[in-house]
Amino acid sequence: MKSNAERVKRFNLAERLGHWTHAISCVVLLITGLALVFSRYGSFLGTDTLRAFRNIHHGMGFIFTFLSLVILLLGTHKTFLAWIKACFNWTRNDVAFLFAFPREFFGLKVKLPRQGKFNGGEKVNSLLTMASFVVMVASGWIMLFSEGFSRKTLLLAYTLHSAGALIIGTVLLGHIYLALLHPNSRESIKGMLWGTVSQKFALEHHALWYEEITAAQGKSLKKDYYLANNTNV
């Protein structure tokens, strides 16, 4: 059995619950929303099914709007604020990462710059998530309570809602590919499932963050890495 020292704490329970609440609600909203959009062109789902999809879409909108924020703010407001701060704190390494990452994404050999807890790609993903959240929530509530808004405002809301859904869907597909299929980043899904990642993954993908947390714990990076790869208990 391998030592627990080989695992590095990356996300706490509230962070993981907030992530999965947001992710699951996104998927449900995309599926039901897609069905509602194409129902205008002749749906094979039937009236009752479409009505159910509409009710699910509206109900999930409440979860999408409020539940993730409640979990994150009440359960882990310090790490939530640290995440927000990190997303707006860019370094040269983050920019260099964005230029190098396309090769990594398509499985080509490339040396990526050393990164903090969130790499440049994760920061872009987070910023898109924040922006799309605001757009989808604002436009969605306008569409739901359409009686109080002008035709021009509603047209803008529908346009933004559709564009936001397209962006979210595209980002989600890339996110799923990296988390489940990409050989170099599949370890990351364990961080969101169980809260920890391997020390090897932390060193290779988030070296600056790993050095920071090990220094805070009074550990030697080289010694810890050696033990992680050479000790069995």
The contacts of residue 86 (CB under 8 Å, 6+ apart) are: 116, 117, 118, 123
**Selection from 115, 137, 6 nearest residue 66 by Cα:** 137
Pick from 130, 127, 136: nearest CA to 62:
136
Instruction: Write down the mean pLDDT value for the chain.
Output: 88
201-218 tens-digit pLDDT: 999 999 999 999 888 776
pLDDT, position 219: 55
CATH superfamily of 4-230: Transmembrane di-heme cytochromes, Chain C (1.20.950.20)
Give dist(CA 228, CA 57) in Å, integer. 46
Distance, CA of 195 to CA of 26 (rounded, Å) = 21
Q: Is the pLDDT of residue 225 over 60?
A: no
Confidence of residue 229 (pLDDT cuts 50, 70, 90): low
Beta strand 7-9 pairing with 196-198: antiparallel
pLDDT at 43: 60
Lowest pLDDT segment from 10-19, 157-166, 221-230: 221-230
The 8-class DSSP code of residue 6 comes to G
Q: How far is CA 19 from CA 4, 69, 111, 136, in A?
A: 25, 10, 29, 17
Which pLDDT score, from 0 to 100, does residue 150 have?
Answer: 95
193 or 220, higher pLDDT: 193
Alpha helices in the chain (DSSP H): 13-38, 47-62, 68-87, 92-105, 120-144, 151-176, 188-193, 199-205, 207-216, 221-230
- Cβ–Cβ contacts within 10 Å for residue 232, how many? 6
pLDDT > 70: percent of the chain: 89
Residue of 216 and 177 predicted with greater confidence: 177
Q: What tens digit of pLDDT does each residue of 11-67 get?
A: 999 999 999 999 999 999 999 998 888 776 656 677 888 889 999 999 999 999 999
Q: How much is the pLDDT for 222?
A: 52
Top pLDDT among 189 and 49 is at 189
CA distances from 26 to 29, 131, 133 (A): 5, 14, 10
User: Burial letters for 53-72: b for 16+ Cβ neighbours within 10 Å, e otherwise?
Assistant: beeebeebbeebbebbeebb
User: What local confidence, expressed as pLDDT, does residue 148 receive?
Assistant: 87
Reported as a pLDDT band with limits 50, 70 and 90, residue 197 is very high
